[in-house]
Amino acid sequence: MASVKVPLASMLRIILRLYSYLYHLVLCLFLIGVGGIGLLYSSSYLTLKMLPWEDPALSYCLFFGGLIGLILLVLAILGRLRFLFFLWTLAVFVMMVRGFFVTPYSFQGPGHFLNIVLLTFGALLSVIGAAIRGRWRR
């Protein structure tokens, strides 16, 4: 049985691409869930201070933004319109940096700050994973 040697750079490319897909799958499902609950109950209690919208526009933006992101994710996995998926990942990263670090968003302690930094760093890694142009070999 012959062993297949995969270069380290190719392996890293594959891992980053898969990480990007998984990160945005979880994010999109979360956005759809939170936006869907906001739309379903049409309450004015949904407040996310790091985002520029207020309810009910916030619920619509979360739900349909997550849906668009999920569609772009599926298209990227199928090898189509990967550039749009890259733009989605970049937009998510920019919104996180803007919402958490540029606006007067307040953190509730060092643990909360560390979680937000890790979440934002994860978004940056997903941008890098979406930007990598590699070919999948069958």
For each successive 10 residues of the chain (138 residues), what is the average pLDDT? 72 92 97 91 76 84 95 94 94 95 88 94 95 63
pLDDT value at residue 54: 83
In this prediction, residue 137 carries a pLDDT of 46
Q: Identify the pLDDT of residue 136.
A: 47
Count of beta carbons in the 10 Å neighbourhood of residue 93 = 20
Distance CA 15, CA 1 (A): 25
- pLDDT value, residue 138: 45
pLDDT of residue 2: 61
Q: Contacts for 26-32 with beta carbons within 8 Å, 24 or more apart?
A: 27/66, 27/69, 27/92, 28/66, 28/67, 28/69, 28/70, 28/73, 29/66, 29/70, 30/66, 31/62, 31/63, 31/65, 31/66, 31/69, 32/62, 32/63, 32/66, 32/67, 32/70
Domain boundary assignment for the chain: 12-131
| Cβ–Cβ < 8 Å for 126, 24 | yes
